[in-house]
Amino acid sequence: MELKKLVKINDYEWEIPRQGEMRVPGKIFASQRLLEEMDEKVYEQVTNVATLPGIVRASIAMPDAHWGYGFPIGGVAAFDPEEGGIISVGGVGYDISCGVRTLRTGLKREEVLPQIERLMDELYETVPAGVGSEGEIRLSPKQLDEVLVGGARWAVERGYGEPEDLEYIEERGCMPGGDPDCVSLEAKKRQHRQVGTLGSGNHYLEVQYVAEIYDRRAAEAFGLEEDDVVITIHCGSRALGHQIATDYLPVLAKAARKYGIPIREKELVCAPINSPEGERYFKAMVCGVNCALANRQVITHLVREVVTALFKEARVSLLYDISHNTCKVEWHEVEGRKRRLFVHRKGATRAWGPGRPELPERYRAVGQPVIIGGSMGTASYILVGTEEGERKAFGSACHGAGRSMSRHQALKSFRAEHIIETLRKRGIVVRARSKRGVAEEAPEAYKDVDRVIEAACGAGLTRKVARLLPLGCLKG
């Protein structure tokens, strides 16, 4: 990206000045090096989002930002329905509520290492993964509707997990406002055997250990110590979320024309939040969120069964679950007054600071856990949200390292066998359903996660709590 088009606020905050049809400025949180490595398309997309009706404060991009559908991946934008604000499929993404949850195991690294091969084998056999993967749960249309309304609560009520899990999931495990009647039969048909499955692409299940603690107070609140073994699950709403996005793109394209919304590019099709079309998409999207929460909850149950069978002393508990492809209704202070906003986070995660009543009581004094997944074979991080991040970015943070190379490029550049062997020599056990998937997700296809975290924390959006390193990785 050309720096001359940006105004430097500080080492980690840059502004695209308001110009032309832009209603607000653009904001990019990144170091100079990360900016220079960003695709020029990120600049273009941040600028385009800034022209949309009802946008508040700024069109925002995170340090891991890269080109996406309409909005950049790593994009954040808030819209006020009282000022004609819109809702956009491109602002949420195709994998609705793709997210991460991290589980504490109560185990130490030295306890797990002798059994890591067996543990990864058992997880491979137990957790369905891969393109089109299906689980043991078969849902009737009525049961699937219950999932779309009930989310993780539905799963816990049927024995997939423990009631206390719900306290440590955004929205307490169920986002209100979903209406299964707004979800197509095709979407439901594609999902009826996918609850409790990992999927493919960048999704994974990773056994990790805490390599370093940076913030003792927050780590104590989160129940983390050095050498603790944790398990992180990264997946979303599977085929249902993708089909919802596919179904509503033409609906919102027609709505944009109907309501005279100027669109810079066709991928930014949208509808007013308060329109019938906008309301139906929002209700369908909520169903996608709840589907993803149920999915990760069932996988958690499967992981618990494996870990507790192999390690009798294990106590698997949920640290936190966050989504990073959503549109959520939130109250934020803007220009001195509280406003009800629809906050789009696409490849970005919510990151509340301390004191928010939405947070679990255990975490309220320090802030929300922010889980940042690295690429296969690299570090992941537990961060904590800040009050400064709420002011600057509607309480948002990056969601991962961010791709630096397309999947097609990665497939041409790397061999799965070489990646798996290289990681094995570093003590990381990989189990994968697809060699293609391993090559596409090569660690070298992603940005340096350490530099991304440095930028997010340098900008004040988050603070570092713990650095995690992998012991084993399950891929689709």
Binding site, annotated residues for GMP: 202-206, 324-325, 373-376, 380, 399-402, 475
Q: For residue 197, what are the CA distances in angstroms to 3, 232, 381?
A: 42, 14, 24
Which residues, in sequence order, are CB contacts of 193 under 8 Å at separation 6+?
134, 135, 137, 138, 139
Q: Which two tokens stand for residue 83?
A: 């000022």
Q: For residue 471, what are the CA distances in angstroms to 102, 159, 211, 423?
A: 15, 29, 11, 10
The residues assigned a catalytic role are 399
The answer to whether the beta carbons of residues 451 and 379 sit under 8 Å apart is no
Binding residues: 95, 202-206, 234, 324-325, 373-376, 380, 399-402, 475
SS (H, E, C) 415-452: CHHHHHHHHHHCCCEEEECCHHHHHHCCHHHECCHHHH
Amino acid at 425: K
Which residues, in sequence order, are CB contacts of 337 under 8 Å at separation 6+?
none
Q: Can you name the residues that pair with 341 across neighbouring β-strands?
A: 330
C-beta neighbour count of 19 within 10 angstroms: 11
Distance CA 56, CA 346 (A): 16
410, burial (CB in 10 Å: exposed 0-12, middle 13-18, buried 19+): buried
Distance CA 471, CA 113 (A): 8
| Secondary structure letter of residue 259 according to DSSP | T
The answer to whether the beta carbons of residues 463 and 457 sit under 8 Å apart is yes
CB environment 251-277: b (16+ within 10 A), e (fewer): bbbebbeebebebbeebbbbbbbebeb
C-beta neighbour count of 205 within 10 angstroms: 24
The answer to whether the beta carbons of residues 123 and 112 sit under 8 Å apart is no
Which residues, in sequence order, are CB contacts of 142 under 8 Å at separation 6+?
none
Among candidate residues 208, 194, 130, the one with its CA nearest the CA of residue 435: 130
Distance CA 457, CA 436 (A): 34
